[in-house]
Structure 1
């Protein structure tokens, strides 16, 4: 990506950023780019990464993170799902490669970028009505391939952050972010449960269950998954996971089942 466009995307002036994004959106939706090889998507995200690197004011950082994440939705038009997969994969690849170079002064804005990109990746799947083949591709070719692969080359902070934000972003996508103080809390929880029930959240939780049960993965990651995700009460309230009592009862019933002589 040209240095001029990178600097414009990171600029302080809103008008400059908007003009740069308009040019970027047109480029991303050209047939030549959408059908490009993975390496072209990787190069593009390397440039977008540096646009975030050079962005040094809170409001422009927030705006840039949102706009970069929203780019994933460009591939809803024409339902170019393979372009979405390559674009998503390129984001995680660049983040995982460059993470070791991020100093503590820049850490927060890149954590925000991860949150926004994960949000819009989930939103893309939601807008495609959770098409099973697409969900499987995203899980196997993107998440399990790079940030949630268990590979020791992936900095711990990346899967840790995904663990921390996944359920929050899932609710925002499938239920919404509106806060209404007059809403009955019980009614709201039932509505969230109903919304989540129409999504394949359990398929995503399975990724973490596999990671936590694989003793080849580092203990700190396995413990983080077990303590901060799999014990999250929301997963049981939404019937995504069984309660410990239900799991124990199921195990006892299985042990007592008679299989004949």
Structure 2
């Protein structure tokens, strides 16, 4: 037999009828699903117990979850987003099943405290925050009016926990960028339908309040820490401008301008003391000059540019200068 013919035979992984090579069997879709579920077995078990009908079982699951997360992180485990999404599904229904205000608050604090479990691996902490904001963005429109308050309370405390976590990283620019990106992809997404408008409005209303409180707790620190905080605040306002550039909905553009970019230096003195108004004005102008920027988005960015070109003292005297868009304007 010629060498060329032998080579051809060796290259054939299947026979003439198309039978798969037994040494490399293909996995069916069901087999792949089973493997994925198998890798999430522990998380799924926690999710079921967290969503149990009995309060004692939910409380026990919460205590065990804290211990398990701590031990896994100490052993060097790197959690995937899918694993944390499964856990947050269980945590979401754990709060859903709770029926007393004091229990709601205690449970929300316990959920925020889970962030401490990821002290050894900050990227897992970012994924944990991402999983929460993605979960609440998806589920918000399904929450009935009787349960809405407790989920807004959880959102506020998780956001505050996130800002405190940033402070504990020394206002690291790397982790600040990661966290701001998480918000842009979820609750501050400019894409229509990603997040309910009510949740977007709530978050923009509490954003600077919680940031101001955390900065006030910081007190006076060394110059290096002050520079890090300054870069954090400047980066945050650049993110607000990015949201205006990408926002498809008039509602989000108005909410960002009204609640964030138009904020008063008298109400949020620590935030505005760290903010470089000229840098924000320049950045908004650059985004607005992008030839691909839609007309209404450009108009909002130019309004921000004009607003931040003025001194803070002058703006404080007429806080109504930035008006909402006219819904009937072309």
Fold shared per TM-score above 0.5: yes
Following superposition, the deviation at residue 205 of structure 1 comes to 2.0
3-state secondary structure, aligned to 1:238: helix
Following superposition, the deviation at residue 248 of structure 1 comes to 4.9
Q: Which runs of 5+ in 1 are unaligned?
A: 178-187, 250-261
Following superposition, the deviation at residue 224 of structure 1 comes to 1.4
Seen in structure 2, the aligned counterparts of structure 1 residues 239 and 55 have a Cα distance that, compared at 3 Å, is same
Is 2:276 aligned against 1:238? no
Following superposition, the deviation at residue 119 of structure 1 comes to 0.8
Is 2:49 aligned against 1:4? yes
Seen in structure 2, the aligned counterparts of structure 1 residues 16 and 217 have a Cα distance that, compared at 3 Å, is closer
Query: Quick one: distance in 2 between partners of 1:47 and 1:97?
Result: 14
Post-superposition CA distance 1:40-65 (Å, at most 9, x none): 11000000000011111000001111
Asked if 2 retains the 8 angstrom alpha-carbon contact of 1:72 and 1:87, the reply is: yes
**Number of corresponding residues:** 228
3-state secondary structure, aligned to 1:122: helix
Query: Which residue pairs with 2:259 in the alignment?
Result: 228
* Between 234-243 and 144-153, the greater mean CA deviation after superposition: 234-243
> What is the CA RMSD across the aligned residues, in angstroms?
3.1
Query: Quick one: distance in 1 between partners of 2:85 and 2:78?
Result: 13
3-state secondary structure, aligned to 2:187: coil
Match of 2:78 among 31, 35, 42: 35
Seen in structure 2, the aligned counterparts of structure 1 residues 109 and 128 have a Cα distance that, compared at 3 Å, is same
Query: Quick one: distance in 1 between partners of 2:310 and 2:166?
Result: 34
Match of 1:118 among 154, 159, 174: 159
TM-score by length of 2: 0.61
Is 2:146 aligned against 1:109? no
Following superposition, the deviation at residue 98 of structure 1 comes to 1.1
Seen in structure 2, the aligned counterparts of structure 1 residues 147 and 246 have a Cα distance that, compared at 3 Å, is closer
Query: Which residue pairs with 1:95 in the alignment?
Result: 136
Q: Which runs of 5+ in 2 are unaligned?
A: 1-45, 279-305, 312-330
Query: Which residue pairs with 1:127 in the alignment?
Result: 168
Is 2:248 aligned against 1:217? yes
Seen in structure 2, the aligned counterparts of structure 1 residues 53 and 227 have a Cα distance that, compared at 3 Å, is same
Higher relative contact order, chain-length normalized (CA < 8 Å, sep 6+)? 1
Match of 1:66 among 102, 109, 118: 109
